[in-house]
Structure 1
């Protein structure tokens, strides 16, 4: 991204150099200085947005256990490729099996209690409330068995997506709580890879999903990849003050990894009417500040302007030329405010 800026600065500062054309007369003794004029154009120009970001994967997954316990075994290691549904880890079932067995014993007891209560109720010894309580106790015990069987089933963690294990967070023998991830998996399908950049609020407002973009990766110098805006953030980043823009890559990239640095240029569909002048009209440039000359009654008038960016062989002027129709090109470096000129 730094190279276009260097080239841009080179053009700006070169505008202030004296031309080698000896046919243009320098001012002397009040004689008129010959100059040529160029029209100040108003064009619909696409204002591109440039930003730096990183390659990331939207397919990241952090699988975890439903219940806590001691990890009995880990089946994967960092850097290993896994397929969706592949077993990653399992818990020690000693405690889970014991609780499930307790629940089963409670069911057997609840059934015996219900049978006795039904007999007593038939003999009019137990009340209807006693009978209802016994039936409720049996249902609760049966649900506890279901919970135990469910926990046994999910005492194993399987990969929710296909991808690469980029981080193993726990090891066998460690205690883990419910919902705590065991590994981090990065999705490896083409649709998972995106480029995320942060842009200013004024640029975010001009962008829409589907806008085209180009991406250059430092890992692949000299290559440019096509992309499109796939997502615009609904909230700003409080740390940087920018708004995140997500790009989906269209071109096939030979190899991708999370964290690759990307230089991005985005092209909003909306155009803006801009003031455009020839590059030769600029004099005394200083960064994005410059001066141009316009002619009023055969007299040069100096006009300070603010440069926006280069556009083809011209310059888009941000401010300073309101109401001006023509500017001096040839002969501009020899002029000063109030100089007498001859338009040729």
Structure 2
């Protein structure tokens, strides 16, 4: 034990003496020039290869635009979407070739020399920023763009061509909705049907204080799928019945109800949640999402909550067989408000 202790003391450095590095700094290996550094023909050949990749990328971008315009969106090829396949191959190939060309350019033609940079604190000094600016300027010179015009022109052509897909794909943002949000499938004479039983509704089918969820009967005429679902989302309504003396209708809406039965859009004007929480005594309709509250006895006016617009009312009447039908479509856009509306 004592021998071991004396052995440790023997290997401790004296005061003020630093331990030597356990491994000597090997330094940088000798620089080996590339073939393109010593053979001008090899450099020119590399330049043509890079320019060729940029050129093919430009052709693929143009092919992307052409195929986007001529290939039907719902066509197929080998059980795959032909349009998606064509667009993916052309644009993906163009981006791959541009990336490969940049890598080849870096490895073959840009200046090849070793750089040693000491570690520094996270905060940079003004000298470091100036040095960074000089480095960027030097990199611009070392990139050889000023000396190799073919390389510069092919690069500019390929990058400029990449802007074409951006422009052409703007078509996928449309078509613009126009005035479609302001209209539903409700028309004069369209019967109101129960959204569960799909049966037409008579005024006497609705009890005092009752709320019934309903839809237009012509929904079934639409093709099943996205079109029908979109129409249902816009045209869904609620029917409520109250004492006729409780209705405080605006002058132009006095004939919009039938025997105390009123019809309103089911879609909240805040963010479009379905509303069907009805309070019989106050005639208030509550949206469960954000507590917007509408007074159905007073033309659907907002009495509480974040909704900024009254609940749209559908004018109704009865047909020759005594069923409730619409007088016309809604007279204002239904659903959540957006900036075009007041």
Shorter-chain TM-score range? under 0.3
Higher helix share: 2
Greater RCO, CA 8 A, separation 6+: 1
TM-score after normalising by structure 2? 0.23
TM-score after normalising by structure 1? 0.23
